Amino acid sequence: MCALPWPSPPLSDGVVTLRPWQPDDIPAMLVAFHDPVFQRFSDWAPLTDAAAREHFSDLERARLRGEVLDLAIVDPAVLGGVSLHGVAGERGRIGYWLAPDARGRGVATRAVRLLVRWAFDAVGLTRLELTCGPDNVASHCVAERCGFRREALLRAHQPFKGGMRDSVVYGLQNTRL
């Protein structure tokens, strides 16, 4: 597959904008990744400046392979991140996180809606999936606000903190087809 393009102009709803990550964003990103709520629901994230730079390089290689587009959510301060990943054929997955002080005001919902519409309209995907831990209720709510439907509970689905974690799977089809 071809590289996933950077959305141009950047995706925005007038409240939040999605733009490529920049090295200057690393300090804000690292603070957010050390947050206990983020740590509770995430198995891995870069926690040092060097790891973050390597992470950006990995993301760029994956974007050029057509697999991943990972964007900063800004207003213009960095509020969090949203990604289209696992792109294969006409399917892809959505992921997101917010810095603690950006939560509780609809930022993730806005960002996911922007990226979902772009993935369907500009990339031509027909189905998106979203996978959450069963106890990540805030994330389930974001998925449902964005129109995803809960489709399955997969037992011992993915490696997580040294064991295997169940996953709730949400799906969304492109209804404009």
Ligand X SMILES: CC(C)(COP(=O)(O)OP(=O)(O)OC[C@H]1O[C@@H](n2cnc3c(N)ncnc32)[C@H](O)[C@@H]1OP(=O)(O)O)[C@@H](O)C(=O)NCCC(=O)NCCS
Residue 74 touches ligand X, criterion: CB under 6 A? no
CA angle 33, 15, 23 (to 5 degrees): 40
Binding mask 126-165 for ligand X (x = CB under 6 A): ------x---x-xx-xx--x--------------------
From 33-41, 49-57, 119-127, 152-160, span contacting ligand X (CB under 6 A) = 33-41
Q: How far apart are CA 85 and CA 26, in angstroms?
A: 20
Of the candidate residues 61, 105, 149, 161, the single one contacting ligand X (CB under 6 A): 105
Cβ-proximal residues to 45 (8 Å cutoff; 6+ apart), any chain: 33, 38
In the complex, least distance from residue 177 CB atom to ligand X, rounded to whole angstroms: 26
DSSP 120: I
Distance CA 27, CA 42 (A): 19
Residues that bind ligand X (CB under 6 A): 37-38, 41, 96-98, 103-109, 132, 136, 138-139, 141-142, 145
